[in-house]
Chain A
Amino acid sequence: MSTITLDPKIPSGPLADKWANFKAASKLVSPGNKRRYELIVVGTGLSGGSAAAVFGEQGYNVKCFCYQDSPRRAHSIAAQGGINAAKNYQNDGDSVDRLFMDTIKGGDFRSRESNVYRLAQVSTHIIDQCVAQGVPFAREYGGMLANRSFGGAQVSRTFYARGQTGQQLLLGVYSELSHQISAGTVKMNPRHEMLDLVIVDGQAKGIITRNMVTGEIEAHAADAVILASGGYGNAFFLSTNAMGCNVTATYRAYRRGALFANPCFTQIHPTCIPVSGEYQSKLTLMSESLRNDGRIWVPKRKEDCGKKVADIPEDDRDYFLERKYPSYGNLAPRDISSRSAKEVCDEGRGVGPGGLGVYMDFADAIKRLGESTIRERYGNLFEMYKNITGENAYETPMRIYPAVHYTMGGLWVDYELQSNVPGLFVIGEANFSDHGANRLGASALMQGLADGYFVLPYTIGNYLAPVRGTCPDVNRPEFKQAVEEVKERVNRLLSIKGTRTVDSFHKEIGKLLWDECGMARSKEGLEMAIKKFDQIREEFWSNVCVLGDGDELNASLEKAGRVADFIEFGQLMCEDALDRNESCGGHFRVEYQTLEGEALRNDDDYFYVSAWKYTGEGNKPELIKEPLQYEGVKLATRSYK
């Protein structure tokens, strides 16, 4: 029997008034008292960096951590395409309600309605804020901001800075953070990896880190801990995430009692450069914005797959997205587009090496708009494609294939972005709340900045105001014990001295997850994978080889710790996927599909958030459900036809 009941703390009132009602009733910490608080922020991406900067600006004492050598290198930097906001600058019928509806529907009705509505509401302020700090968004000749369209929407609401939107947004955040660092309110700790969460009297009061240069294991205490550590896509080994992205920060919190919500909801992005060999370390995304002008097709007949593009006449091509989803066409949402690509490749109609690829063709757009317009829109992406594949996409279509890209699951949080552990807040990709079973393009950047700039600074007051003066001393036994445990784990990894490299384990679980918990999942496959994970975990802890010492920069040791957590976490993903006997968004269970092969949702039995509780190493985790309640939205079958 479950010991926890989850209270999402949704404020009263109609959907559109909830946020205002909440703010009016929330507790404040007075300006003079803010400096008496210590806050820990793990992560300097859009979510963590913005939160740390605002907290510093408000007068709190902030300790901020990241594993890179500089906060400016957080993985948000790699986002290419853009950021959504319901500005309706294009006068094409956009509104807060429409952005809200698109996001709920895009998430296949598995996100929390009130959080999503708030996200749509604050989206408009984000753009104002970014422009004020000097983000050079693309503009029209009249000097106004330009927009483009992204998947799952019929309006143009995406703001962008060439193909480097994430970079420019993050540099904006970084500049504010730097301002606070120089003002002395934020103490930045780069090259520090969080390896544990410290709980004192049932509340999150600190973290344990490893200084990645000296190897020192350090304890840090605070009044509250904010995790902004990003997503866990690297569980799959090959993904579009940066090499260091990990689940360690959130997984360690899970082991300390925080619930992990919807871990099986992962996003496979339809437009990535296909895998080319065993040696490959990561996959490269080709921004979804390309789907504004690129048409996706494969040959109608298998026999044509080996032919040159020029030798396949128009009539023999199958523009499968345009055919299946005429109203959204090439801009169908990601989960649907990815699955369609997999289907045509499974039918043997894929192109390129191994038959794992489909064409994204710009010939029509170049004919219509001219090469220079296409170059202006996507020049850097075409260059990147050429650099990686050696092919010129102005002349021959790009080859693309789906790849793991984003994780909708994350630590469970309530409306205040607080986990079930008091004092532990989770923001950005690390939490679960806003994207349901599938995220729409350009909405992760929106969520990261919304959480950090506009939501958490308001919601954290309810926790902080009453707890003033409870920041514990790092000499308390809870900290000492956590330090000892972390040291022991590090020493254990170094002392195994087995025969297999860390990467070989990572590749093994990556393939297992891709095959059994990727674009298509089945009961048998998942059950097999869950068993397999037990074996892999055992072998890892008896046969991994980690060279070097603990008291210096040691990349294999860092990786080993992360992979050890991915192994345990991968099993949790499979448990979650197995429990959910329905198909929704990125979670496609082959047993549950319509006659046409579309996802078959089951709202009667699965209209809930799955929040998992840790019950000890090797034990089956406990499922706790947060039933979803929709007030403004009527459940409907998602259709993009």
Chain B
Amino acid sequence: MNFHLKIWRQAEGKGRGGFQDVDARDIPSEASFLEMLDIVNDRLSEGGDEPVAFDHDCREGICGSCSLTINGVPQGPGRGTACQLYMRKFSDGDTIYIEPFRVGAFPVIKDLVINRSAFDRVIAAGGYISERCGNAQDANDTPIPKTVADYAMDAAACIGCGACAAACPNGSAMLFVSAKIGHLGLLPQGKPEANRRVRRMVAKMDAEGFGNCSNYYECEAVCPAGVPAAFIAKMNRDYALASVRNAVEATA
């Protein structure tokens, strides 16, 4: 197959960047999107051009490294990550725009590579259960209903890619943050810290410069892990409750 690529190139820390036109010829239809970029990079190198920088690692849709906006859609057409997108999904002769995720809180490092460390800082603000290794009770001491465990798993499946924030017109990270709060808050182990967790994580999310949610639900549509947007509503309820409790405790 043949494609006309318009690839975002941006030198490190310098310049504003722009699109480079690249023709990708004779691409096998069974190749993945990233394998197509490998082929393009090999040819650029052979011609003495510097290859395009992009993040990737597992190429199985689970590590969350790859982060391309393809034809304006974070993670490209269809459900799943860019690394799990196969060229047979495109038509011969297509023009394909390839850009990094566009989120203020994720500055571009080079070409298609961005800095998503804001997500790590939001998790560090409270996305954990405080327990000390070596003292846990037997794993079956607290039964957890299958439905609860399954629902927690729906949220825990988040791969931390950032597509939700990239898809949101406000650059909101609500789906990502609510996924962690939902996962831990649903489980009995996570309840003792639930109030503090939601307050701290939401505060950190705001401080990192992510926008607000105004219910566009673009996030849910692009999320490769299928995290339901219902978790955002749950987080908003949890947050309101936690704020009230906090205020009451402060005056008590």
Contacts and interface: CB of A to CB of B under 8 A. Distances in A.
Contact of A132 (B110, B131, B152): B131
Given A68-B63, A384-B61, A553-B53, A182 B125 contact: yes
A72 B120 contact: yes
Given A53-B133, A134-B183, A178-B124, A387 B59 contact: no
Contacts of B50: 547-548
Nearest to B36: A279
Contacts of A73: 57-58, 63-65, 160
A552 B137 contact: no
A87 B160 contact: no
Give the interface centre of A57, A128, A145, A190 by most chain B CB atoms within 10 Å.
Answer: A128
B63 A57 contact: no
A20 to B, nearest CB: 15
B59 A281 contact: yes
Given A53-B133, A182-B125, A72 B160 contact: yes
A190 B132 CA distance: 25
Contacts of B63: 68, 73, 75, 77-78, 242
Interface size class of B (residues with CB under 8 A): 35 or more
Interface stretch (A162-170, A392-400, A422-430): A162-170
A541 interface: no
A54 B131 CA distance: 11
Interface string B12-54: 1000000000000001101110110011001001101111010
Contacts of B86: 387-388, 390
A176 to B, nearest CB: 6
Contact of B128 (A178, A276, A387): A178
A70 B134 contact: no
Interface string A71-84: 11101011000000
A604 B149 CA distance: 51
Contact of A69 (B45, B61, B117): B117
Contact of B145 (A143, A178, A390): A143
Interface in B51-107: 51, 53, 55-65, 80, 84, 86, 88
Contacts of B42: 501, 503
A134 B189 CA distance: 6
A282 B59 contact: yes
Interface in A172-200: 174-176, 178-179, 181-182, 188, 190
Contacts of A142: 143
Contacts of B139: 87, 127-128, 130-131, 137, 145
A552 B53 CA distance: 11
A178 B35 contact: no
Contacts of B153: 136, 161-162, 168
Nearest to A89: B140
B58 A75 contact: yes
B203 interface: no
B171 interface: no
B65 to A, nearest CB: 5
B129 interface: yes
Given A77-B58, A547-B48, A556-B45, A175 B128 contact: yes
Given A139-B146, A280-B35, A178 B127 contact: yes
Give the interface centre of B115, B139, B157 by most chain A CB atoms within 10 Å.
Answer: B139
Contacts of A71: 120
B109 A553 contact: yes
Contacts of B213: none
Interface in A338-390: 384, 387-388, 390
B189 A131 contact: yes
Give the interface centre of A89, A168, A279 by most chain B CB atoms within 10 Å.
Answer: A279
A556 B187 contact: no
Given A138-B149, A501-B45, A553-B110, A78 B136 contact: no
Contacts of B58: 73, 75, 77-78, 242-243
Nearest to B78: A387
A277 B120 contact: no
Given A178-B127, A282-B59, 8 more contacts: A68-B63, A73-B160, A125-B134, A161-B153, A162-B153, A178-B128, A243-B56, A552-B110
Interface of A: 50, 53-54, 57, 68-73, 75, 77-78, 87, 89, 125, 127-134, 136-145, 161-162, 164, 167-168, 171, 174-176, 178-179, 181-182, 188, 190, 213, 242-244, 276-277, 279-282, 284, 384, 387-388, 390, 453-454, 457, 501, 503, 545, 547-548, 552-556
24 contacts: A69-B115, A73-B57, A75-B58, A77-B62, A129-B136, A130-B139, A131-B189, A132-B131, A134-B152, A134-B184, A137-B139, A139-B144, A142-B143, A143-B144, A181-B120, A182-B125, A242-B59, A243-B56, A276-B30, A281-B59, A284-B59, A284-B60, A547-B51, A554-B53
**7 closest A-B pairs (Cβ-Cβ)?**
A143-B143, A175-B128, A132-B136, A128-B136, A182-B124, A131-B139, A178-B124
